[in-house]
A and B are shown apart, each in its own frame.
Chain A
């Protein structure tokens, strides 16, 4: 499993993304932090159902507490990166952790750059 994960990480780092689209094409992730974020997202997707079910047992008043403690231990045993709260919405272009607008997934600087060049649809300089 570790080997597989490593292999996947290497492939991801050197991934040549399929590029039928014209324009800017990035062959690698911007930085390792972005890569880690990508990993976390994938793991979170994998373990999402399991986490939900175990949490359903845990957050309960009906089932006995012993069962719930066992469930606590189980969920703690899952890989740490499978937790969705570890995902951080970084900028897609620059991997900036802060100042990211969720709708466009871009940091404020990149957003401003694209908006000024009229490459963001429906966005105009405000004037009133």
Chain B
């Protein structure tokens, strides 16, 4: 019997403490126990069998244990309901604790005596934790046979931290997003505030958004009173930018040669050599060496003039005589110009005007003929 208890207990705490590892010390069930769950199930079954055996042998002791079990069972049920750490490990602890109780009479006596001491300690340390939580923590710690005091203290510390964060959430600063974006200056924060901000940010991950907004609403008004609404730089998201920078620039006179040289120097220094082929091509395109793609056939010669201005050039022929070879000649000239895609409208008009001028000069000669 004793050997059964010992081996079962050893297996239990081995399973609990080293979840990932498969300790080589297990000799009773070696290869079969690959998964923790199966091992726990098997161990649970075995424990039940041992428990039943134990109950049959220790009848009187069991009655005593029964009376003490109920408050502990209540606590353990609380643990099960609480979601301080929802982990498979805890569930197993509960399972084992419920079965461990029936066997170990000695162990029950220990934590009960230590429990009130620990609760007192928990109260003394800082903010008064919920006594139920403290008892639950002590019960959980007791279920772990190894380092009861350490686990107890750790659990209490965790509980205290949770309490602190919830309190700070309610009281402390919230993240005012507007201030963060618009006034990104180095501000002197007290370390407590900083800690509050960090903790509140961490708690963001855990809590829902709905729960976070409530404490903020109470505080937004208080913050607006601290910093006026119209102070600080305007972001100009919804309204056009004001003309303030223009006023500032008006006072500057035309740039001197030295200013130009300085600007050129700065540009030359800041212009880093291209890191790769793409940047080189970008630089070339800016300089004008490389064309812009997709290729635009009318890059340098966009007149803004419609096709009819290129083709129908009769209206420019008003200065010429309506009959005669000159008219004939000019009509041919216009026909040629209308088919010319390389000249702009201005150039074509200039062409015609040159001829007009030329024939004006030669008018006397033409009249002799």
Contacts and interface: CB of A to CB of B under 8 A. Distances in A.
Nearest to A65: B369
Interface string A79-97: 0000000000000000000
Interface residues of B, number: 14
Contact of A62 (B332, B355, B358, B369): B332
Nearest to B325: A62
B171 to A, nearest CB: 65
A68 to B, nearest CB: 11
Which residue of B351, B354, B358, B362 has the most chain A CB atoms within 10 A of its CB atom? Answer: B358
Interface in B255-289: none
A62 to B, nearest CB: 5
Nearest to B268: A20
B326 A70 contact: no
Nearest to B366: A67
B329 interface: yes
A63 B326 CA distance: 7
A53 B355 contact: yes
A16 B355 CA distance: 41
A90 to B, nearest CB: 25
A31 interface: no
Contact of A66 (B329, B358, B369): B369
Given A62-B325, A62-B332, A67 B362 contact: yes
Interface in B340-359: 351, 354-355, 358
A49 B342 CA distance: 14
Given A56-B333, A70-B365, A64 B354 contact: no
Interface in A71-109: none
A53 B351 CA distance: 8
B89 interface: no
B201 interface: no
B354 A53 contact: yes
Contacts of A53: 351, 354-355, 358
A119 interface: no
Contacts, number: 28
A36 B246 CA distance: 53
A82 to B, nearest CB: 16
A105 B326 CA distance: 43
A121 interface: no
A24 interface: no
A66 B351 contact: no
Contacts of A67: 362, 365-366, 369
A49 B346 CA distance: 14
A63 B333 contact: no
A62 B325 CA distance: 6
B369 A60 contact: no
B90 interface: no
A65 B311 CA distance: 30
Given A53-B358, A70-B362, A64 B351 contact: no
Contacts of A62: 325, 328-329, 332
A59 to B, nearest CB: 12
Interface in B55-101: none
Interface string B312-339: 0000000000000110110011000000
A60 B354 CA distance: 17
Contacts of A64: 325, 366, 369
A56 to B, nearest CB: 7
**Across chains A and B, which 10 residue pairs bring their CB atoms closest together, nearest first?**
A62-B325, A62-B329, A62-B328, A64-B369, A63-B325, A63-B329, A53-B354, A66-B369, A67-B362, A66-B365
Given A49-B354, A67-B369, 16 more contacts: A53-B351, A53-B358, A56-B333, A60-B329, A62-B328, A63-B325, A63-B326, A64-B325, A64-B369, A66-B365, A66-B369, A67-B362, A67-B365, A67-B366, A70-B362, A70-B365
20 contacts: A49-B351, A49-B354, A53-B351, A53-B354, A53-B355, A53-B358, A57-B329, A57-B358, A62-B328, A62-B329, A62-B332, A63-B326, A64-B325, A64-B366, A66-B365, A67-B362, A67-B365, A67-B366, A67-B369, A70-B365
